[in-house]
Amino acid sequence: MEAAASRARILDAAVKLIAREGLDDVRIARIAREAGVSASLVHRPGSPHDDWMLWVELWRHTARHPELRATAARVYARMHAWFAEAIVAAGFAVADLDRTVDRLLALIDGYGIRTLTEDPAMPLERARAEVWAAIEPELQRNASR
């Protein structure tokens, strides 16, 4: 139970600091101090499930707290940029990279919610296969590689 309470305090502290100061200016040590936990606890790696839970919590908080919307938009823009860079670095060429990344993120978001809620009809392996099947036709190997 203490682990869950610590995670909640860490999340609340991170959201509060990011909303107030922006993602670029927040450091792990400050989140830990605000949450009343050690920095090593904040650094402890979580599972992909935990990462997804953090993302869903940001959505939830943003829906209820308009002051977080700019922060959520910046986080989403960074994720968008990361996926765009990964697609290009992997040697794929697409007709409209921004549109493809938007579709990819929408697919991940939708299937992610179903796997997060442990929908028996959508295990993680199926979600991955569905995302790939939907996005793969847009990806073409770059001929220059």
Q: Which tens digit of pLDDT belongs to each residue from 101-130? A: 999 999 999 999 999 899 999 999 999 999
C-alpha–C-alpha distance, residues 8 and 11, integer Å? 5
pLDDT tier for residue 48 given thresholds of 50, 70 and 90 = low
Rounded Cα–Cα distance for residues 32 and 81 (Å): 28
On whether the 1-44 domain is CATH 3.30.43.10, my answer is no
Q: According to CATH, where is 1.10.10.60 located in the chain?
A: 1-44
What is the CATH number that goes with domain 46-145?
Answer: 1.10.357.10
Q: Where in the chain is the domain with CATH 1.10.357.10?
A: 46-145
Structure confidence at residue 87 as a pLDDT band (50, 70, 90): very high
The pLDDT of residue 57: 80
State the pTM of this model: 0.67
**For residue 34, pLDDT beyond 80:** yes
Torsion over CA: 93, 94, 96, 98 (sign): negative
Integer Cα distance of 64 and 79 in angstroms: 22
